[in-house]
Amino acid sequence: MTKTGLWAAVVAPGGEARPAAWEAFGAARELARGLGDGLSAIVLGGATGSPAVARARRLADRVVHVSVADDAALDSRQAAAAFAAALEGEEADIVVTVADAFGREWAPRLAVRLRGAPLTEVTGVAVEDGEPVFLRPVFGGKAVARLCAAARPSVVTVRAGAFSAPEEGAGEAEVRSLAAEPTAPEFEVLAREAAESAGVPLAQAAVVVSGGRGVGGPEPFRRELKELADALGGAVGASLAAVDAGWVPQSMQVGQTGTSVAPTVYIAVGISGASQHLAGIGGARHVVAINKDREAPIFRVAEVGIVGDYQTLVPEIVKAVRARFSQA
């Protein structure tokens, strides 16, 4: 069962992959169980002895490691070419990766190179009559589409937070190493600027406190919302309206065109609940909404809804949370 057409793909610059990258193995393992198949992995970047390769060996039955000269400067065309080279001569029916910002770029390119079919933002998988079925939200999360690929291989991106990384094995999978041929980049990088970030990453937070147009400006994101997020050990997010208003950077946006989150608790403050926003919080276990408009659509999905002024409510919630934790 070591020769398989089912693959999980991970990009690991410097030999380290983002935590969400391993969720692709969760989806791939579900398919492997249903198909009665094994699982292979491709790790792009770093050295053969890197932490990413070591973890892939604990999650897959065999591993292909692809090294590149400058993995930190990879563009999507170069990544797709490297993955295609790794799959040359291999049996490949399904390739699964995470739908992060980079994965959304290189995965469709890989599908074109392999003359296959891209399936994006998948949130569920199943096997029916021996065929893989992929689930993804449509119409802003109001419905779920059940998809089967008409062409193989299928290159599948899974939404961050929709799956969990599977349990790790002994780490004895065989490793085949190869070096990717250098290719000219599609564009010239004139400068690099790292985005400032502090605290828990938005996509990994167990608690997310998001603000929308209803908070009235940028200051609440630095005061009331941040205080509540800090008290709960969470992260601060924002709606598209808050980002478009220039109150916060796009990196904080939660929604269909921003970051999809799957926290234990999602607290929406001053967010009306447009379908685009709801599509990005479908994985949240519990939704709490605070809004002055009792007719706001967000209340239709909220488990707890509070009608009132956040400027009064949020500080009181912060006090209650801190008092509770001080007694623990």
Mean pLDDT for the stretch of residues 146-154: 88
Q: Where are the alpha helices (DSSP H) in the chain?
A: 23-35, 51-59, 76-87, 103-113, 219-222, 224-231, 240-244, 275-278, 310-327
**What's the confidence (pLDDT) of residue 143?**
83
- Low-confidence winner among 30-34, 70-74, 98-102, 174-178 (lowest mean pLDDT): 70-74
CA separation for the pair 16, 68 (Å, rounded) = 14
What mean pLDDT, rounded, does the chain reach?
A: 89
> Residue 114, class by beta-carbon neighbours within 10 Å (0-12 exposed, 13-18 middle, 19+ buried)?
buried
Alpha-carbon span 152 to 194, nearest angstrom: 38
> Quick one: which of 259, 145, 284 has its CA closest to 207?
284
Confidence of residue 185 (pLDDT cuts 50, 70, 90): low
Using an 8 Å Cβ cutoff, are 218 and 120 in contact? no
| pLDDT score for 211 | 97
Closest CA to 111 of 97, 101, 127: 97
**pLDDT number for residue 155:** 96
| pLDDT exceeds cutoff 70 at 85 | yes
pLDDT at residue number 33: 92
What percentage of the chain carries pLDDT values higher than 70?
A: 92
Write the pLDDT tens digit of every residue in 266-318.
Answer: 999 999 999 889 888 888 899 999 999 999 999 999 999 999 999 999 999 99
Confidence class of residue 2 from pLDDT cuts 50, 70 and 90? Answer: very low
CA-to-CA separations, 77 to 9, 108, 113, 298, in angstroms, rounded = 15, 10, 10, 39
pLDDT score recorded for residue 202: 86
Residue 146 is predicted with a pLDDT of 93
Q: Which domains does the chain have, with CATH numbers?
A: 6-179 (3.40.50.620), 202-327 (3.40.50.1220)
Min mean pLDDT across 48-62, 126-140, 204-218 is at 126-140
Of 183, 179, 162, 222, the residue nearest 77 (C-alpha): 183
Structure tokens, 198: 């502090």
Instruction: Give the model's confidence band at 3: pLDDT under 50 very low, under 70 low, under 90 confident, else very high.
Output: very low
